Amino acid sequence: MKLQTFNWNKIDSFGTEHFRLVREDELLRGSGKVAYEEGNVLFHANYALELDAKWRTRKLKVEASGAGELEILSNGEGNWFQPHGAELEGLYGAIDVDLSVTPFTNSLPINRHEWEPGQKRNFEMVYVDVQHLSLFKVSQTYTFLEQKGGMRIFAYHCRDFESFIYVDTAGFVIEYPDLFIRKSDIPAGEFDRIR
């Protein structure tokens, strides 16, 4: 068993996430505890993801304050199901999930592929609005721009939103500008900027 932990802070508001990833044979289990303030109200959520060895989502469970619980399953081939077996046909074709409250899910499409500079890939994603526990399928584009030392830079596009995403060599987010920054990577004296 191999354990990795990360802490991300929100940049656009006060908030934090503690994340754990456990690797066991052919299975990866990721779990996050998220808390942030929005409109002077503290929101918190817990999520757990099960991934196969190819970084394909097989199970997602989310608990969000004020919204309840959500659980979905996948066969890793683009079919999604409710826990009792009913198929979620509107999600067909998506392999990855994208949770609104964490940068971890950006690692899923990045780590499922080898990338060359300038390479662009389109993905169908199950987007989960964690605050309201709603989900729907969206198209997203990742373009690998370059590597600088131990950091890789991707251009990200989804609907009307565009950003850069900075990840380490293992594909985990270092910074998602204006949204998230990994706590261990915050330069000295910069903490006030993200509070």
The one-character DSSP state at 187 is P
The encoded tokens of residue 7 equal: 């802490």
The predicted pLDDT at position 41 comes to 85
Indicate if the pLDDT at residue 185 is higher than 60: no
DSSP string, 123-171: EEEEEEETTTTEEEEEEEEEEEEEEETTEEEEEEEETTEEEEEEEETTS
How much is the pLDDT for 13?
87
Beta carbons of 194 and 27 less than 8 angstroms apart: no
Q: What are phi and psi of 112, to 5 degrees?
A: -80, -5
Based on the structure, what is the number of domains in the chain?
Answer: 1
Within 8 A by CB and 6+ apart from 84, the residues are: none
Alpha helical stretches, state H, the chain: 107-111, 191-194
Q: Is residue 175 very low, low, confident or very high in pLDDT (cuts 50, 70, 90)?
A: very high
Quote the tokens at residue 20.
């754990």
The model's pLDDT over 72-119, given as tens digits with 9 standing for 90+, comes to: 999 999 999 999 999 999 999 999 999 999 999 999 999 999 999 999
pLDDT, tens digit (0-9, with 9 covering 90-100), for 121-165? 999 999 999 999 999 999 999 999 999 989 999 999 999 999 999
**φ/ψ bin of 85: left (φ > 0), alpha (ψ from -120 to 50), beta (otherwise):** left
Is the Cβ–Cβ distance between 34 and 7 less than 8 Å?
A: no
First-residue to last-residue Cα distance in the chain: 35
H helix or E strand, kind and range, residue 14: none
In terms of pLDDT, which residue wins out, 15 or 186?
15
pLDDT of residue 193: 39
Q: Is the pLDDT of residue 194 over 90?
A: no
Whether pLDDT at 195 is above 50: no
- In the predicted structure, residue 186 carries a pLDDT above the cut 60: no
Query: pLDDT digits over 7-48, tens only?
Result: 999 998 899 999 999 999 889 999 999 999 877 889 999 999
**Is pLDDT at 184 greater than 80 in this prediction?**
no
- Res 39: pLDDT: 78
- Could you list the residue range(s) of the whole structural domain that residue 18 is in? 2-194
Residue 119 DSSP SS3? coil
**Rounded Cα gap, residues 3 and 23, in angstroms:** 7
